[in-house]
A and B are shown apart, each in its own frame.
Chain A
Amino acid sequence: MKISQILAISLQSLKSNRLRTGLTILGVVVGIFSIILIMTILTMLQNSIDEGLSSLSKNTFQIQKNDQVFGHGPRREDRNRKDLTIEEAYRLKEMLPQAKYVGVEQWVFGKVAKFGNKETNPNIQIAGVSTDAMKTNDWNVEFGRDLRENDIDHSTNVCLIFQPIAEKLFPNIDPIGQTIRVDGRPLKVIGVIEKQSALFGSSRDNIIILPITTWQSIFGKYNHSVNITVMTHSDKDYQSVMEAAIGYMRKIRKVAAGEPNDFYIFSNESMISEINKITDPIKIIALAISLIALIAAGVGIMNIMLVSVTERTREIGIRKALGARKTWILSQFLFEAIILCVIGGLIGIVIGVSLGNFAGSLIHAQAAIPWEWVFIGLGLCIAVGVIFGTYPAYKAANLDPIEALRYE
């Protein structure tokens, strides 16, 4: 007997009992819906968080002095690390021609910028950067000119400002060529950086950029560690460049073989894996709770399939008496269960994804279709169909034809 014939029989018996089929499918729909809804919302939230925390551009990693552990200072054993310096960054740049850019940057937070009688809120971040760091940060100049090597070499008193700062300090005039003051130092504005995409979590539009040498002459060269940012040409050589960079940094900082690194490699992945440590258990708990409804639906399927086997005892007896094989009967009932589950699953997935996206849009998360969960959900449906359909199908297949025919 062909599979298509068995399938046809299953479909026909499903059609003949529309109400029953509909209610059973509804059970599966709700079961899958609960999983997909939760997973869609969690995926949307996670995407927003990941994007918000992705403080680096693509294919970029950063070498820092210390690990960033949430809520703590540096670890006890790391407190005596030497600061990273500009010189180390330049040596690394020479040694690492395979990297696209090797930038160096330094930050200070909570400063005020003044122009005439206007001043910003004291939440300005001041970045001291090399020309390469402009590229690794993906800062594009909208008006005026970019930072030049000259500015770095001669530590000229110039700065680039972000669009919102320009709007605040220069509502009516062209900012280029004007002089603002930060911590009393006059700085000539040479360029305005285009507005950054709004990110969930961190505000990155209140930055003033100086040549790193100028930064150090204002805020001090010592007791400040620089960050070295490395951007690779593509994600293919990301790993190899990172490994090479680690090797060269160990050489530059004279770390003996066998000693651990005395610096920390920070990448978007390292941040995201840090976050996943928190979100993974939440996901597992949510999955476990939302699975309960699917199991309840499975029990419902099993129940209805058992009824269906009992009702069709005579039919099974006749088919067996006419020479139907056990496997045919088995697969007929199994198919019935699986078809119920897959139809219910598909509907549940559609409703779950759309309602999840609706709920997510209320909290302004980005729309997302959690493809892996769509497939996991479908897989779960089939699994439920098989698990809860097997016993009734087995019972049908093992009916004694004589007894079955006599059944009243």
Chain B
Amino acid sequence: MDAILFEFKEGLLIALRAIKANKIRAALTMLGIFIGVTAVVLMSTAIKGIDNSFQKGISALGSDVLYISKWAWFSNEEWWKMRNRPNITMEDYYEFKELAKLPLAVAPVANSVQTIKYGDRRVENIFLTGSNADYVKTTNFTFEQGRFYSDVESNSSRNVAVIGSEIYKKLFPRGDALDKTIKIGGVNYKVVGVLAKQGSTVLGPFNPDNQVFIPIGTIFKNFVSRHFNSITINVRARSPEMVQETKDEAESVMRKIRGLAYNEPDNFSINQQEALQEQYNSVVGVIQIAGLFITGLSLFVGAIGIMNIMFVSVKERTKEIGLRKAIGAKRRTILAQFLLESTVICLMGGLIGLIAAILLSLMLNQFFPTSIQWSVVLIAILISLLTGIISGLAPAYTAAKMDPVEALRYE
């Protein structure tokens, strides 16, 4: 055991001395690994960052919320088969609320797209969500100012609005929106609440930061007809574990309300954000794999560089190897010496690359969501170690199996 430790120490010293003796060469070799590790780590932090911001955004929608609507979100079914389904009406909602026992909260939702104005500032194509006071219970909203509209306000269809944080920023750059009157599609509404930042931009129009919430009665009064438009019923389960149970109950309750016979298919769809997640995964998954593959190639190039330089190094030190072997160095001693050299170079390059990648990703974070994970740091170190060992193996083996006689004679 002691002998192996000693050999290890000795090998390390020789390796370090060799690296010192050829500073430029070692530095360039490290640069190769440095580039590879930086690229891979940076790519994975970027991927993780995008992922996180999507997850955060999607959790703003609530992972335990079901959306009962006329249309399926993503479906292979032909649209005309769903076209003739009956609309989901407010009456459906009232009955559903009466009959469903499992949900934590049930809220009706009707949407419209309108222009919002305050003074001479305006934002166009804003997603308007009409619901009742229960809506806030189906979300995890937090408020920057004010509150959600109350039961009284929604039941009596008052013109009150809660605005998302992005809209707040655009319409009220000087702050304080409470009790101000905004115009939604030309109709006056009083602002009673401002949401704190919720989601992220990846959600597009689903992002609550870009929405305005008003009582459902006023959306029917001012923007969409309650008779010709289908609403969505948002149903929140008591806990994520109960989503499936709640979904099953919701399906049977809806079938009962619709009076469907046992052999008729559902004439409504129960959507979950999982569908959104699947869509996201299928697109982003490919990009992730491609990104890691391409940056992985640069690491591979770095590894080739090391192997090349190690071969040179073995050739240059043929005489030295011959000498050491002649006075009794074992094969594994020589092997360990060269392996250690390549591993040290890789590890140093990798560590510097890692630090650079972390600094860069902190800088990039200003414009782009990135996220550093400890697992990535560990994997990067492991990868550079492995790179060193794998690319050092062939040259070290060549050195180890040299015939001392031939090696000493080498000119």
Contact = CB atoms under 8 A, between A and B. Distances in A.
B295 A292 contact: yes
Interface stretch (A25-33, A160-168, A170-178, A228-236): A25-33
Contacts of B291: 289
Interface in B103-139: 124-125
B193 interface: no
A89 to B, nearest CB: 32
Contacts of A95: none
Given A23-B307, A300-B32, A306-B28, A34 B80 contact: no
B32 A296 contact: yes
A383 interface: no
Contact of A304 (B35, B124, B298, B309): B309
Contacts of A169: none
Contacts of A30: 297, 300-301, 304
Contacts of B35: 292, 295-296, 299
A286 B293 CA distance: 12
A26 B306 CA distance: 12
Contacts of A299: 28, 31-32, 35, 302, 305
B39 interface: yes
Interface string A104-119: 0000001000000000
B25 A306 contact: yes
Contacts of A26: 304
Nearest to A34: B297
Interface residues of A, number: 33
Contacts of A72: 125
A303 B25 contact: yes
Interface residues of B, number: 33
B3 interface: no
Interface string A280-295: 0000001001101101
A24 interface: yes
A302 interface: yes
Interface string A294-319: 01110110111011000100000000
Given A295-B35, A303-B28, A306-B28, A27 B311 contact: no
B215 interface: no
Contacts of A76: 124
Contact of B308 (A20, A110, A286, A290): A20
Contact of A300 (B80, B83, B299, B308): B308
B297 A293 contact: yes
Given A23-B311, A122-B80, A300-B305, A290 B300 contact: no
B312 interface: yes
10 contacts: A20-B312, A34-B294, A292-B39, A292-B298, A297-B301, A299-B35, A299-B305, A300-B32, A300-B301, A303-B32
10 smallest CB-CB distances across A and B, nearest first, come from: A300-B305, A293-B298, A303-B28, A296-B301, A23-B308, A292-B298, A293-B297, A122-B80, A34-B297, A296-B35
Interface of B: 24-25, 28-29, 31-32, 35-36, 39, 43, 78, 80, 83, 124-125, 290-291, 294-295, 297-302, 304-305, 307-309, 311-312, 316
Interface of A: 19-20, 23-24, 26-27, 30-31, 33-34, 38, 72, 76, 110, 121-123, 286, 289-290, 292-293, 295-297, 299-300, 302-304, 306-307, 311
